[in-house]
Amino acid sequence: MKVLVLTGAGISAESGIPTFRGEDGLWEGHRFEDVATPQAFARNPDLVHQFYNARRKALQNESVQPNAAHVALAEFEKRHDGEFLLVTQNIDDLHQRAGSRNVLPMHGELLKARCMLTGDLFDWRGDLSVQTPHPTEPDLVGTLRPHVVWFGEMPLGLERIAAFAEDCDLFLAIGTSAVVYPAAGIVAATDPHCRRVEINLDHTPQSDRFDLTIRGKASIEVPKFLESLE
């Protein structure tokens, strides 16, 4: 069985990372356009760096740990006898920390920095600023940005995702509001024979495309559903 999983902010909510569009959403106090577009970064890099610095710091707080949903996916992947791809829209590293191997972070990774001139990628745990020097090219200063995908930018790994979706047997979407494309369009790109399952607290604009919609918390429903496949 070929399994494709798509996760969104809802899977990390119970680990203490606020969702984007929830009541306590990260965007509160920040308009999307002020922090999550290349134009915003060009206009006010200090504000955007501060926003991501705060999230990078929070992600490394000891209280933020993978929850039962992350762990269940990692364990399922280990015992699964078939192809498996976990596409996440999340920029946290909770799937990787839980032990998932085939993870494709389509909106980037908060614990990486990218040089806008050379494209070099660096593991990054501290703050970034307009004064940060490039680690290996000391003449370059202020060229690093968070390795994340902002609105209007091309998400990562789209060809691999499309190729996987077109002949997968099970598509599982967990904790995503299904309003941001192209992620929201993956369900429509799956093969007609594919079984599609959505796990979310609420209805989403894509819910009607799923064969089964499970309403509940990811930490409870993901382990339960994956066990039901055994």
Q: Is 210 exposed, middle or buried (0-12, 13-18, 19+ CB in 10 A)?
A: buried
The nearer residue to ligand BJW, 137 or 153, going by C-beta atoms, is 153
CB 17 within 8 A of CB 225: no
* 195 bridge partner residues: 170
- Give the residue from 176, 168, 230 showing the smallest Cα distance to 198: 176
Point out the catalytic residue in the list 70, 107, 134, 147. Answer: 107
Kindly state whether residue 12 participates in binding ligand BJW, applying the rule CB under 6 A: no
Kindly state whether residue 19 participates in binding ligand BJW, applying the rule CB under 6 A: yes
Kindly state whether residue 177 participates in binding ligand BJW, applying the rule CB under 6 A: yes
Chain-centroid distance, C-alpha 89 = 2
The nearer residue to ligand BJW, 43 or 167, going by C-beta atoms, is 43
Kindly state whether residue 168 participates in binding ligand BJW, applying the rule CB under 6 A: no
Give the contact letters, 120-149, x = binds to ligand BJW (CB under 6 A), - = no.
Answer: ----------------------------xx
The nearer residue to ligand BJW, 49 or 139, going by C-beta atoms, is 49
Residues touching ligand BJW: how many (CB under 6 A)?
34
How far, in Å, CA of 182 to CA of 168, rounded? 18
Q: Rounded to a whole number, what is the distance in angstroms from the first to the last CA of the chain?
A: 12
Q: Which residue is nearest to ligand BJW (CB)?
A: 10
- Give the residue from 178, 172, 33, 56 showing the smallest Cα distance to 108: 56
How far, in Å, CA of 7 to CA of 98, rounded? 14
Kindly state whether residue 218 participates in binding ligand BJW, applying the rule CB under 6 A: yes
Kindly state whether residue 157 participates in binding ligand BJW, applying the rule CB under 6 A: no
Residue from 36, 170, 172, 197 in contact with ligand BJW (CB under 6 A) = 36
The nearer residue to ligand BJW, 33 or 137, going by C-beta atoms, is 33
- Residue 80 annotated among the catalytic residues of the structure: no
Active site residues: 107
